[in-house]
A and B are shown apart, each in its own frame.
Chain A
Amino acid sequence: MSTHILWLIGRRLAAAVLTLLIVSVVIFAITAILPGDSAQQILGQFATPEQIEALRQQLGLNQPAIVRYLDWFGGLLSGNLGESMTNNMPVTELLQGRLGNTLMLALVTSVVSVPVALLLGITAAIYRGGRLDKCLSTLTLALVAVPEFLVATLAVLIFAVKLRWFSALSYASDVTSPLAFIRTYTLPVMTLCFVIVAQMARMTRAAVVDQLDSSYAEMARLKGLGNLRIALVHALPNAVGPIANAIALSLSYLFGGVVIVETIFNYPGIASLMVDAVTNRDIALVQACTMLFCSGYLLLVLIADVSAILSNPRLRTR
């Protein structure tokens, strides 16, 4: 690997870190510079001004915003995410118990959705303009706009209520056997996959079609290569960058999707924890969850960028 590549990757990494910094400022600004503050929140509306003042002192709320931000951000770096007010326990502990569940859900969803989407997208691109392509295009076009809770309610209705194949609620702790695993994960994963697969398949198709429209693809046709070979051997390697990007974007959409899905299926993950935190205005917890999701997003985009760089011989062999 050349130093040039390392330099390019280093630059992407630096950009991601900078973005994360800005994100942290934005999140802190929204959550910490608000009219009603947490002291009021904790003590309730009947607290005397003195009590509130005392608590404010104790929580350090009287310090300037910049000091509080640095405090908070320093805590993030050292793994101290603060204290959850509603649960009366450190945020780190709360997250630890649930992070694994959400990651598991995301992992299973990715493992199912990525191959399916790539297969659909590439197939549609190869048979571009044909009946299969038209059907897939219309179907995915419709599916990208379907709200998760519609998919989820219909899925529960059909598979849990009518057919009684799976349970309507998913407790990750129930998983003791492969069968239980399937029972627990099928419905949430299916719900998440619907939208993501549609989105990813569309973007994959577009990326491959873009390459199939290029001069070198025409040249390949004119030197007597078949459609399949042109698509797989010629177009696909050049579409790696855009496809990686499509996967990253779609998977990041998953972060939005889990919020709904975990709530509907009562799945004990971070997203449902966050929804509760928002309802209870448990600011430290909200901040931590958001930072976690944003880091996840930036990591995905970074991976996509790096694979785009590595797949480009123009950059690889300078």
Chain B
Amino acid sequence: MSTSVSNPSRTSALPRITSPWRSVGAVVCLFWLVMAVIGPWLAPHDVGQVVSDDIFGPLSAQYPLGTDYMGRDMLSRMLVAARYTVGLALVAALLSSMIGTFIALAAAVSPRWLEDGICRLMDALIAIPSKMLALVIVAGFGSSVPLLIITAIIGYAPGAFRIAYSLAASLYTMEYVQVAQTRGESRLYIALREMLPNMLNPVLADLGLRFVFIVLLLSGLSFLGLGVQPPDADLGSLVRENIGGLSQGAAALIAPALAIGTLTVGVNLLIDRISSHRNGR
């Protein structure tokens, strides 16, 4: 019978081939998390200090990642910049997910007209490509760290909303929610106790995706010179600063670009691993 067939998959832990790529994701994520916390203390030189006459210097024992367009130690700059990139994106991703999820829950248990209104507004926000939206906000309000976080939230909370809302809307039609309604439970109780626990897994996976998107958005903005402003720098700013080294293939340009790549790809691999583990595939 078909039911007995589907049972084993629910118990998860199917014997499966563990691809090396999957643990790579976890290692890379852990690495960047640790770097974001302790990186600045590990920096051998001061971030702003010009340490060498050699601009776009090659990799060497003294300057493991070479020197930048002004002759500053690239390793030190990266260690500090990583904290901006990871930290900003983490805060913004957490806030986007939380805000998106709570608006979604509120919409799902709201009266029809309010629910429709919220959805319409979110649809409109989603229709603005997030990079465009970020550009518009920067044009309007300038660029600062709190503003960048708000920008990322306005850009990505609607996406989190869409995921959470589709979950919440289908949960709202579940019979156990109807049972709670006929028990006279409040909307708040239904949203928080009956629905939220059943949304947590997919919402957490989505949080990972938000993080990836936001890293890409913020570093993209910095790359355009519209993100984190000097003297502070995130990894995207480092790419921008050193774009002059492109013609010589400078380490100072490739290192931060690669760093962003490993961070986002690593997180993506990790999410995939976790969610496929959950689905038992």
- Same assembly: yes
Determine whether the beta carbon of B257 is less than 8 Å from that of A153: yes
Contact with B along A274-289 (1 / 0, CB 8 A): 1101110111001101
Determine whether the beta carbon of A148 is less than 8 Å from that of B220: yes
Determine whether the beta carbon of B128 is less than 8 Å from that of A290: yes
Whether A146 touches B261, Cβ cut-off 8 Å, given contacts A22-B120, A278-B135, is yes
Q: Does A69 contact B (CB under 8 A)?
A: no
Q: Does B129 contact A (CB under 8 A)?
A: yes
Determine whether the beta carbon of A19 is less than 8 Å from that of B247: no
Contact of B219 among A35, A147, A156 (CB under 8 A): A147
A219-267 residues with Cβ-Cβ distance < 8 A to B are 252-253, 255-256, 259-260, 263-264
Q: Does A30 contact B (CB under 8 A)?
A: yes
Q: Does A67 contact B (CB under 8 A)?
A: no
Determine whether the beta carbon of A157 is less than 8 Å from that of B254: yes
B126-166 residues with Cβ-Cβ distance < 8 A to A are 127-133, 135-141
User: Residues of B at under 8 Å CB distance from A?
Assistant: 19, 21, 120-121, 123-125, 127-133, 135-141, 212, 216, 219-220, 223-226, 236, 239, 243, 246-249, 253-254, 257-258, 260-261, 264-265, 267-269, 272
Instruction: List 15 interface pairs A-B (beta carbons < 8 Å), by A numbering.
Output: A19-B123, A30-B136, A30-B137, A138-B21, A141-B272, A142-B21, A146-B264, A147-B220, A149-B223, A149-B257, A153-B243, A161-B247, A255-B129, A275-B224, A289-B132
Determine whether the beta carbon of B246 is less than 8 Å from that of A141: no
A86 to chain B, nearest CB (A): 12
Of the listed residues B139, B226, B246, the one surrounded by the most CB atoms of chain A closer than 10 A to its CB is B139
Does more than half of chain A's interface fall in helix, strand or loop, or is it mixed?
A: helix
| A residues near B239, Cβ cutoff 8 Å | 149, 153
| B residues near A253, Cβ cutoff 8 Å | 129
State the CA gap A167–B38 with chains docked (Å): 41
| A residues near B265, Cβ cutoff 8 Å | 142, 145-146
Of the listed residues B133, B140, B247, the one surrounded by the most CB atoms of chain A closer than 10 A to its CB is B140
Contact of B264 among A27, A145, A294 (CB under 8 A): A145
Determine whether the beta carbon of A283 is less than 8 Å from that of B128: no
| A residues near B141, Cβ cutoff 8 Å | 30, 34-35
A69-114 residues with Cβ-Cβ distance < 8 A to B are none
| B residues near A156, Cβ cutoff 8 Å | 246
Determine whether the beta carbon of A141 is less than 8 Å from that of B129: no
State the CA gap A37–B268 with chains docked (Å): 41
| B residues near A19, Cβ cutoff 8 Å | 120, 123-124, 127
Q: Does A190 contact B (CB under 8 A)?
A: no
State the CA gap A20–B124 with chains docked (Å): 7
Determine whether the beta carbon of B139 is less than 8 Å from that of A293: no
Query: How many A residues have CB within 8 A of the partner chain?
Result: 54
Determine whether the beta carbon of A153 is less than 8 Å from that of B212: no
Q: Does A162 contact B (CB under 8 A)?
A: yes
Contact of A157 among B138, B246, B269 (CB under 8 A): B246
State the CA gap A282–B138 with chains docked (Å): 11
Determine whether the beta carbon of B261 is less than 8 Å from that of A23: no
Q: Does A136 contact B (CB under 8 A)?
A: no
A138-171 residues with Cβ-Cβ distance < 8 A to B are 138, 141-142, 144-150, 153-154, 156-157, 161-162, 168
| A residues near B133, Cβ cutoff 8 Å | 290
Determine whether the beta carbon of B131 is less than 8 Å from that of A256: yes
Determine whether the beta carbon of A290 is less than 8 Å from that of B136: yes
| B residues near A260, Cβ cutoff 8 Å | 131, 220, 223-224
Determine whether the beta carbon of A150 is less than 8 Å from that of B261: yes
Contact of B249 among A35, A148, A162, A264 (CB under 8 A): A162
Q: Does A66 contact B (CB under 8 A)?
A: no
| B residues near A141, Cβ cutoff 8 Å | 268-269, 272
Determine whether the beta carbon of B136 is less than 8 Å from that of A31: yes
Determine whether the beta carbon of B139 is less than 8 Å from that of A277: yes
Contact of B129 among A26, A34, A162, A256 (CB under 8 A): A256
